[in-house]
Amino acid sequence: MTDRIAARFAALRAEDRAGLVSYLVAGDPDQAGSQRLLDGKPAAGVDLIELGMPFSDPMADGPAIEASAQYALGAGATLAKTLDQVAAFRRHDNETPVVLMGYFNPIYSYGTQSFIERAAAVGVDGAIIVDLPPEEDEEFRRPAQQAGLHLIRLVTPTTIGERLTTVLDGASGFVYYVAVTGTTGTKSGEAGVVQNAVERLRQATDLPIAVGFGIRTPQQAAAVAKFADAAVVGTALVETVARHRDTPDRMVEALHADIAALAAGVRNARQGG
Amino acid sequence: MAQPNTYRSGPDERGHFGIYGGRYVAETLMPLILEVEQAYNAAQADPAFEAEFDDMLRHYVGRPSPLYFAERLTEHFGGARIYLKRDELNHTGAHKINNCLGQILLARRMGKTRIIAETGAGQHGVATATVCARFGLPCVVYMGQTDIERQQPNVFRMRLLGAEVRAVRTGTATLKDAMNAALRDWVANVDDTFYIIGTVAGPHPYPAMVRDFQSVIGNEVREQMQAAEGRLPDSLVACIGGGSNAMGLFYPFLDDRDISIIGVEAAGEGVETGKHAASLTGGRPGVLHGNRTYLLQTDDGQIIDAHSISAGLDYPGIGPEHAWLKDSGRVEYVSATDREALDAFQLSAQLEGIIPALEPSHALAHVSKIAGDLPADHLLVMNMCGRGDKDIFTVAKALGVEI
């Protein structure tokens, strides 16, 4: 089985650039609209896709992502439909890694083993489960890794000392560095502080490091792309979707324009210094 | 499930009661949760902590609360001897203060300088605001906008006590969303903030810690019943939302296997209608707010809003130890509807001169179903965990009375 995540980060290294990771909530504005947004992402410049699994009580997310999840659920989103979106995406793209991000309850309710089997079958590469810290993730991580799914671990500014060893033990795919102590989309980390943290993290792991939380603009993405292996943008894109819910065509255009600008920032970050 | 040697050994070192409990929180909070656990373990081993807690319970809260023989209810039902544990006589009018006091003493030991809490009906918010005023710590209480509108007197009380009440408009704007908001605040303010959770739920060590602070209720009942009747009670009855008053009463008796223990959930308009708050009766296991437990949820694993006339029982989950006690069969879990609770509310007022909160009215509703069939020497203890002053507007409305 090919490891799309490893292959993608290897290709990025060969190009000496960071990748752009984009997050949207599956099912916002509806299944068809969400599928269009997803399908167009690689062409617009996304290197790795994070697809949010909507949950009614997203306790680590800020208001924009929570509202998007509520909207998606109201429009009939389910975990099964999220998996169907990945299956549809894979019919025309077998290279761009797709990582599902969300909370454990919908997965547990679906059946952890059934979810893992279905996710692997439709071409999901990994999962980020926000409320499943290392102490609780074995029931997901072991069967997932057997099925070739990475469970992406989160490292935060409070993950220091022995705690970092705990979090990195068993990590695979890449490491997601949460740049701020806060929820998504509410504040931004100071670039120098984040850089120091990422450099410390590199001493402890050989896995690629993606940085997220608080990255909204091409400039912020470029600043992170200088030292990280990938920059994750979520809330800013989720807000673009929310702004254009009444005009689906305009939504696709606007989202892809945002992504193109972010991608340009990321791609040019390491040139000239 | 095989019967364990003891029902009082949980949770294990990772915070699990069987498959329930645990620490399902974002990584940002994990180091803090571990720190709270260490600090709590150290406090438990420190006689000075216990002495300070006991002293405040006695002189500030007014403990021990009486164990009162309810003679007229006993006559009315014509069966078991009914005793009421009068935790509604505590300072602030409910059992909530026992736990808030314990947690704020712990927060002070940890050097935390800011307190946050969630509240549904406002009782836990008032109790938290009270102890924050007493110890001079700033206090932010998160409360769903829907609850703010139906619990104005408690909002005003909290503000009088110096707390900042922050309206939560996200999600369905009720208790579960207030808890989400408090967790978000905590994630963003991990250095200086302590989160006083109001019930036996949340990530480990909260379920065990809140149970321990509330166990003063059951420990007093053991002594008081010995003094009154020369023996232990035959049955215990308490209402359950998150389940803190019930755990506090039940825990010291879990290994007295002859004692029948009953938890009463809120059936709202009836469990069969879907409009209820009975997580154990009508829910299934899942993960929310840091622990695995029974939850009201859709087939897709989305959390459903609870419904009950009693805002304090209006929560879609339940403490993980209750989930474990249900599966193990040690505690029997039943439910009472809004209507049954309203009838019990009036009965208590008319026969005993005690206006109960709507929460323990659910417990009394169940007592009214079973007491008459029990023998006259049967000793039944019901936890009267809160007083009903806060509920008079709700009750008046339900009875069609304008005040």
The string of pLDDT tens digits covering residues B347-380 is 999 999 999 999 999 999 999 999 999 999 999 9
- Provide the annotated active-site residues of A: 50, 61
Lowest mean pLDDT among A195-199, B234-238, B351-355, B389-393: B389-393
What is the per-residue pLDDT across B136-186, written as a single tens digit (0 to 9) for each? Answer: 999 999 999 988 987 888 999 999 999 999 999 988 888 899 999 999 999
Q: Domain-by-domain residue ranges, chain A?
A: 4-268
CA distances from B374 to A162, B70, B226, B340, B352 (A): 57, 16, 20, 20, 20
Q: Which domains does chain B possess? A: 16-56+96-210 (3.40.50.1100), 63-94+215-398 (3.40.50.1100)
Place of tokens 């949770």: B11
For position B62, what pLDDT does the model report? 98
CATH of A4-268, one of 3.40.50.1820, 3.40.309.10, 3.20.20.70, 1.10.260.40: 3.20.20.70
- Mark yes or no for CB contact A67/B170 under 8 Å: yes
Residues in Cβ contact with B246 at an 8 Å cutoff, skipping those fewer than 6 apart: B238, B239, B240, B263, B322, B383
Token match 């909260």: residue?
Answer: B206
Q: What is the mean pLDDT of residues A82-86?
A: 98
DSSP string, A187-244: ----HHHHHHHHHHHHHH--S-EEEESS--SHHHHHHHHTTSSEEEE-HHHHHHHHHT
Question: Do the Cβ atoms of A105 and B30 come within 8 Å?
Answer: no
Backbone angles phi, psi at A183, to 5 degrees: -90, 175
Whether chain B has a CB inside 8 Å of the CB on A76: the answer is no
Q: Do B190 and A158 touch (CB under 8 A)?
A: yes
Contact assessment for residue B144 and residue B121, using Cβ atoms and an 8 Å cutoff: no
Is the Cβ–Cβ distance between A255 and A234 less than 8 Å? Answer: no
Does any CB of chain B come closer than 8 Å to the CB of residue A138?
A: no
Q: Give contacts of A79 with chain B, Cβ < 8 Å.
A: 300-301
What phi, psi does B260 have (nearest 5°)?
-85, 130
Closest-CA residue of B relative to A62 is B184
Q: What is the ipTM of this complex?
A: 0.95
Residue B196, classed as helix, strand or coil, is coil
A130 interfacial to chain B (CB closer than 8 Å): yes
If you average pLDDT over every residue of chain A, what do you get?
95
For chain A, the straight-line distance linking the first and the last C-alpha, in angstroms and rounded, comes to: 38
Å between B22 CA and nearest CA of chain A: 7
pLDDT band at A1 (very low <50, low <70, confident <90, very high): low
Residue of B25, B32, B188 with shortest CB distance to A131: B25
Spell out the residues 6+ positions from residue B372 whose beta carbon is closer than 8 angstroms to its own: B77, B78, B79
Tokens of B26: 């974002």
Contacts of A59 in chain B (CB under 8 A): 26, 179-180, 183-184, 289
Q: Of B300, B304, B305, B315, which to mutate for an interface test with A (greatest number of A Cβ within 10 Å)? A: B300
Subunit contact B31:A105, Cβ cutoff 8 A:
no
pTM of the model: 0.96
d(CA B145, CA B174): 7
Chain A nearest-CA residue for B183: A59
Residue A272 has pLDDT above 70, yes or no: no
Q: Is the pLDDT of residue B120 over 90?
A: no
Test the A interface: residue of B14, B184, B190, B293 with most A CBs within 10 Å:
B184
Mean pLDDT on B82-88: 98
Task: Tell me the three state secondary structure of residue B354.
Answer: coil
